[in-house]
Structure 1
């Protein structure tokens, strides 16, 4: 597991989404075709069922370089707002802080007085759980009716109380079983692309680039001259780890015509119509 920059971002509008929950309390809201990593390889959410295993991050030791002015004081303010139910997300500054500051902040939020678990908004608990994973600690969320708690083990609390800034290195992923999959209405859908590895962490689960995992479209740059006659055939192939589905009347690519500012090296006229005369070609049916 390593850091990587996002190389592309796509907006797909509002689409139906599903909410997935694992036994350890990880949650993910995604479209039915979003691929997740299973022991069998990549599988779209629509093909998953309760009891299936997903790859979840045990540790994600990535930190920033912007120090917090007073980690413990910020933690006390955050804890008070969490207890009051007025905070839905941990301040972004914590995620940009170095390891030592993150450890001091997390230890002050989750101290010995919270042995029964941290009760707060689910989104804020997801943030705390992500901070724990950065430090190498495994926490668990439990939902009891409308009450959501983040459980932090006694061993973790003891280590934090001793001033350690994280657990020793261990396996980066483990398999977490699905406990629920349910429709979650419609929501704005976004996709990102991570070059090279083509996957990323989403709420602790390893997911694949969704848009860029469907099919890779290969279209060569083809020069046209006034002498060109006939049909133009575009070829595309699936370069993803998943089966490609092409739906009729929905399109698969954009074709852009532009006028070149230099002459073409190959003349179709000189080649005696080798690349012409495609008027009688029978086009494939969809």
Structure 2
């Protein structure tokens, strides 16, 4: 087992260097598993109250599934959540009557999910796995979702989408939210004064953080809106809707580069609503 990553003063893994370069698929998986294991306590201390113990937020703008209804009626349905983190969305789905399998790459996140399953009495099945190789039978779930879950960290997005399509029954739906591709060329700042283009929207080179020895410890992958459309369709889905949530009135939460001031000007989240023919 690799040694835990050293932490910065804010509790997040310490980045020895930042660069843009190609990363192999398994290198991306290994790095992000280790990073989220190490970052889980700090991330949940910072965002856990906003995420809730049993709530379903599609993104930092505050759009909730209880209001959006993108998954439809979930009662009695078998649902897969990809990139569940501490699993608040999965527990909300259980409270709405669904049978839920909640999957994440990070054991650190799933440990907190197990604790919250116990304290809330809402207990989706927790599974540590990579979305690129789902340990589920074909056609075994009715619905799938991913709320800012694994997709931005996956090197082969189309392969991951094909895996989700494989485990969905014909006629099933997959809804996934990702950071809006329009955010990629701008600085990672919540201040609207920083909305100055500093990179190319069309540059798909992954964002990489390394440790002091140059080993990759974090990877995030960029895709344009057109890339997401092609990957969804290439995986066998019909793209039913693209939702760009507007900032919820009165919401004051600042989350990384997401803020009310910046959210009033440019979109921060893209929600892909995908139906499987059948």
Structures share a fold, TM > 0.5?
A: no
**Greater Rg by CA:** 1
Greater helix share, structure number = 2
- TM-score w.r.t. the length of structure 2 is 0.27
